[in-house]
Amino acid sequence: MVEQGTDEAAVGFRGEAKHIARGVTNGGWRRVDPNEQPAAHVRHATRSVSTGSGKGSNVPKLKVGARAPAFTLTDQRGKKVKLSDFKGKSVVVYFYPKADTPGCTTQSCALSDAMPDLKKLKAVVLGISPDAPEKQRKFDAKYGLGFPLLADEDHKVASAWGAWGKKSLYGREYMGIIRSAFVIDPQGKVAATFYKVSPKDTVPKATAALQD
């Protein structure tokens, strides 16, 4: 299988409508610009960026065929979840910058909607972000996502997976989550990588890799 990557794109109309509709169903959602960027949070971004070989400035990306880095993280219900818990199944792992923001909501709701098809492909979904478990719980409850949302508050797992790196916004450089998705095969090896994946492309790219 081939390693792929795309530049993160603006959320499409269909995805925007979907997450706005869900928000209305669950109450209190305001219409937002899908390109709106929230202010950086200490867990979600680090303002200083090393220009040398400092830790985190050039995080290595995962290679197809390599063993996926192990992790144990706490989910939205306070349960410890290990990647090894899903040995024998395909796993779609995705990293998102911040719970309950426009792009992350679109991406997560699309994966939730795709769960019946993903189950037919014998795949499970794990979402990971720097949000605390309580924030993940509220995100899950608001949109009824129905799969584990894991708290990587120190971004160590994101770094190990190559999903933490240099970003820029309005001319300012900072370190933060690189929106990424991965397909892990039943033997725990990387089957496909999608760095800088757009929210609307996550499901079709992951599905295609699972079908390959």
147 CB-near residues (< 8 Å, 6+ apart) = 111, 112, 115, 124, 125, 126, 127
pLDDT at residue 51 greater than cutoff 90: no
- For the cut 80, the answer to whether the pLDDT of residue 64 exceeds it is yes
- Band (pLDDT 50/70/90 cuts) for residue 8 is very low
Tell me which of 200 and 28 has the higher pLDDT.
Answer: 200
What confidence category does residue 169 fall into, taking pLDDT thresholds of 50, 70 and 90?
Answer: confident
* Per-range mean pLDDT, top range of 12-26, 46-60, 88-102: 88-102
State residue 187's pLDDT score. 97
* Identified catalytic residue from 104, 149, 150, 192: 104
Domain boundary assignment for the chain: 4-21+62-211
pLDDT of residue 44: 59
104 in active site: yes
Residue 106, pLDDT > 70, answer: yes
pLDDT confidence of residue 43: 53
User: In the prediction, which pLDDT does 45 show?
Assistant: 57
Is 161 a residue whose pLDDT tops 80? Answer: yes
SS3 per residue for the chain: CCCEECCCCCCCHHHHHHHHHHHHHHCCCCCCCCCCCCCCCCCCEECCCCCCCCCCCCCCCCCCCCECCCCEEECCCCCEEEHHHHCCCEEEEEECCCCCCHHHHHHHHHHHHCHHHHHHCCEEEEEEECCCHHHHHHHHHHHCCCCCEEECCCCHHHHHCCCEEEEEECCEEEEEECCEEEEECCCCEEEEEEECCCHHHHHHHHHHHHHC
Q: How far apart are CA 158 and CA 43, in angstroms?
A: 12
Of all residues in the chain, what percent carry a pLDDT higher than 70?
73
Rg (CA), the chain: 16
Share of the chain above pLDDT 90, in %: 71
For helices 102-113 and 133-143, what crossing angle results, to 10°? 60
Residue 139, pLDDT > 90, answer: yes
From the options 3.30.559.10, 3.40.140.10, 3.40.30.10, 3.40.640.10, give the CATH code of 4-21+62-211.
3.40.30.10
Is the pLDDT assigned to residue 61 strictly greater than 60?
yes
